[in-house]
Amino acid sequence: MSAVIIASGRATRLGDICKHKPKCLLPFDGVPFLRYVIFWLLNNGISDIVVTGSQVSQAELIEDEIRNNFPSSVRLVVEKYPKSTAQSSYVGVSQVKCRDTLLLTADNIWNLNLRHFIETHVERDAHCSVLVTTRKNVPNSGMVKIDSQSKKVMSLWDSENCVPGLRASTTGFYALRKEAFLRTVDLGLDLYVERESMQRLAPNIWGIVNNKFFYDFGTPENFKKLSDNPSVITKYFGEPTLN
């Protein structure tokens, strides 16, 4: 299993907080967030890691972070002008070495048994596995419908709640079959990987329900809360060093 970390965007929700640093390098307890994420992946056995960066996300700073702290199996792919999340995902996934890859963002914390998530994805022979929660306090609650018994995704990004099934929310964490995903992305049209690209992987899309801790620090309010309590990161990701 490989991993792709999307860090190409402008982080507009955070405003001036990201004026001098990309979102993924914002420090918590003096440590860039990206370092916590990458060591969490490495310590869970994921060694082939691609980070997507761009001119608008100050890729040169991300490159320095990767070069100075990680093995060569962790590498940066730079987009000149990122057009969409779908494009960034395509660029990252096209560079991984394994048949399957994780796809995640650089502003979320999960309390997740990663081994179980990967094993479930592989056992189902899924083209796409989506980490979802049925908790009510997640911003996009109700955007996914999954079959209550099989956990197969009935509708991804179901904003009108018109499809029967268990209502859930995505958490920005996926596992993808590399070649199947690359075939589905329309680089000329797709903007959002969930709303457009992943839809075409149906019916082989599965939801993996995890109602444990999930936190998105992509807003000024949430960023401040996490800055005041950075131990939350090490609680779920561990120390930013190799075990």
Instruction: Summarize pLDDT for 25-59 with one digit per residue, the tens.
Output: 999 999 999 999 999 999 999 999 999 998 877 89
What is the CATH superfamily name and number for domain 2-237?
Answer: Spore Coat Polysaccharide Biosynthesis Protein SpsA; Chain A (3.90.550.10)
Considering the chain, what percentage of its residues have pLDDT values greater than 70?
A: 95
Rounded Cα gap, residues 239 and 171, in angstroms:
22
The partner residues of 76 in beta bridges, in order of sequence, read 51
User: How far apart, in whole angstroms, are the C-alpha atoms of residue 217 and residue 208?
Assistant: 22
Task: Report the pLDDT value the prediction gives residue 195, as an integer from 0 to 100.
Answer: 87
Which run of H or of E encompasses 66? Answer: helix 59-69
What residue segments make up the domains of the chain, in order of their start?
Answer: 2-237
